[in-house]
Structure 1
């Protein structure tokens, strides 16, 4: 398992604020060479410690996007298999393990109620899923 050091944390902190920051800017801010930054990013990506880069979109730019949270109860020791199947569903934008009454929590994003219904049926038909509860997200505050 890759262990972050202080330089890794600083690089990640800057990229969280500005994922498009050029290597030269990172190098200047952190006082290390551009090559050092490139090597660190390569190492973070190749080790799997850094999963990638993403774009955040303001919610009001996609007003018709339906978002929901699905809590999932998994049977016995089938959590790994269930997670593998859920990861293959592009409508599930995030998947979390949790404690309490539910084993997993999935964040769902779809463009229509019909698509939402299909996703719910597909998830509920996965072997190893005992129960689920889904709530549509009405707004973010």
Structure 2
């Protein structure tokens, strides 16, 4: 996997600002050759640089306005089985292996508090899960973003 360079950062930033822009429009806007933009677009679409489009969908538009972060402590069992079971819960949007007092940090969504309770119970029923701790997100203050990093790379060329 190749790191994004200055030109790639410029193309990604332009796509972040206008995801439906054509290659020709991007090339004109960036002052780059169409082939350069087209090659960069193809590269980031195939090398894993871009996340799947579903990541952009807002959970509240899917009837899941409640967001919570759940930490799980897991026992010494088949970790792949545990992760497969956790991943099978549709409301689990993200899972990170972490350090500290827990083993996993999950971002989950739910319809309401009763539904969040159901999701938590489903997670606790997964193989190897010993304990959970749920933290309700009151409001998203700064959403997941990459534009500031892209802007810095596009300007500095790092």
State TM-score, norm by structure 2: 0.69
Any conservation in 1 of the 2:93–2:106 contact (CA below 8 Å)? yes
Look up the match of 2:24. Answer: 24
RMSD: 3.0
Higher relative contact order (CA 8 A, sep 6+): 2
2: CA distance, partners of 1:102 / 1:140? 23
| Greater CA drift, 90-99 or 14-23 | 14-23
C-alpha spacing 1:4/1:88, structure 2 compared with 1 (3 Å):
farther
The structure whose residues are more often helix, as a share, is 2
Q: What does residue range 46-61 of structure 1 map to in structure 2 within 5 Å?
A: 46-53=46-53, 54-55=55-56, 57=58
SS at match of 1:3: coil
The 5-angstrom pairing of residues 1-141 of structure 1 reads 1-53=1-53, 54-55=55-56, 57=58, 65-76=65-76, 78-141=78-141
Where 1:135 maps in the other structure, the secondary structure is: strand
The TM-score with structure 1 as length reference comes to: 0.75
The number of aligned residues is: 140
Q: Which runs of 5+ in 2 are unaligned?
A: 142-158
Q: CA deviation at 1:8?
A: 2.1
Return 5+ residue gaps in structure 1 as ranges: none
Q: C-alpha deviations, 1:40-77, integer Å up to 9, x for none?
A: 222222222322334365x7x89971111101122247
**Could you list the per-position Cα deviations for residues 65-90 of structure 1 after superposition, in whole angstroms to 9, with x for gaps in the alignment?**
11111011222474444333333332
